[in-house]
Amino acid sequence: MTKKQRALEVIERLKKEYPDAGCTLDYDQAWKLLVSVRLAAQCTDARVNVVVEGLYEKYPTVEALAEAPVEDIEAIVRPCGLGKSKARDISACMKMLRDEYGGKVPDDFDALLKLPGVGRKSANLIMGDVFGKPAIVTDTHCIRLTNRIGLVDGIKEPKKVEMALWKIIPPEEGSDLCHRLVYHGREICTARTKPYCDRCCLADVCKKVGV
Ligand code: SF4
Domains of the chain: 3-22+136-205 (1.10.1670.10), 30-129 (1.10.340.30)
Q: How far is CA 66 from CA 76, 87, 91, 102, in A?
A: 15, 11, 6, 12
Residue 193 sits at φ, ψ, to 5 deg, of -115, 170
Residues touching ligand 1 (Cβ under 6 Å) are 145, 148-149, 188-189, 195-197, 200, 202-203, 206, 208, 211
Mention every residue, 6+ apart, whose C-beta is less than 8 A from residue 84.
Answer: 74
* DSSP assignment letter at 124: H
Question: For ligand 1, atom 2, which residue shows the shortest CA distance?
Answer: 197
Would you state the pLDDT for residue 157? 98
Q: What is the mean pLDDT of each run of 10 residues along the chain (211 residues)?
A: 97 98 94 97 95 98 98 98 98 98 97 97 96 96 98 98 98 97 97 96 98 95
132: burial class by Cβ within 10 Å (0-12, 13-18, 19+)?
exposed
Catalytic residues: 121, 139
Would you state the pLDDT for residue 8? 98
| Angle, vertex CA 143, rays to CA 8 and CA 208, nearest 5 | 65
Question: For ligand 1, atom 1, which residue shows the shortest CA distance?
Answer: 203
Would you state the pLDDT for residue 117? 95
Q: How far is CA 11 from CA 6, 86, 163, 178, in A?
A: 9, 34, 18, 10
The DSSP string of 6-71 is: HHHHHHHHHHHH-TT---SS--SSHHHHHHHHHHTTTS-HHHHHHHHHHHHHH--SHHHHHHS-HH
Would you state the pLDDT for residue 142? 97
Find out whether 88 and 70 touch, Cβ atoms under 8 Å.
yes
Find out whether 52 and 145 touch, Cβ atoms under 8 Å.
no
Report which ligand 1 atom has the smallest distance to the Cα of 149. Answer: 4
Say what the pTM is. 0.91
103: burial class by Cβ within 10 Å (0-12, 13-18, 19+)?
middle
Would you state the pLDDT for residue 202? 98
Dihedral, CA of residue 114, residue 120, residue 125 and residue 127, to nearest 10: 60
Residue 208 C-alpha to ligand 1 middle, in angstroms?
6
Question: For ligand 1, atom 8, which residue shows the shortest CA distance?
Answer: 189
Which of 184, 208, 209 best tests ligand 1's pocket when mutated (most atoms within 8 Å of CB)?
208
Would you state the pLDDT for residue 20? 94
Would you state the pLDDT for residue 13? 98
Question: How far is the C-alpha of 128 from the C-alpha of 173, rounded, in Å?
Answer: 10
Which of 182, 206, 207, 209 best tests ligand 1's pocket when mutated (most atoms within 8 Å of CB)?
206
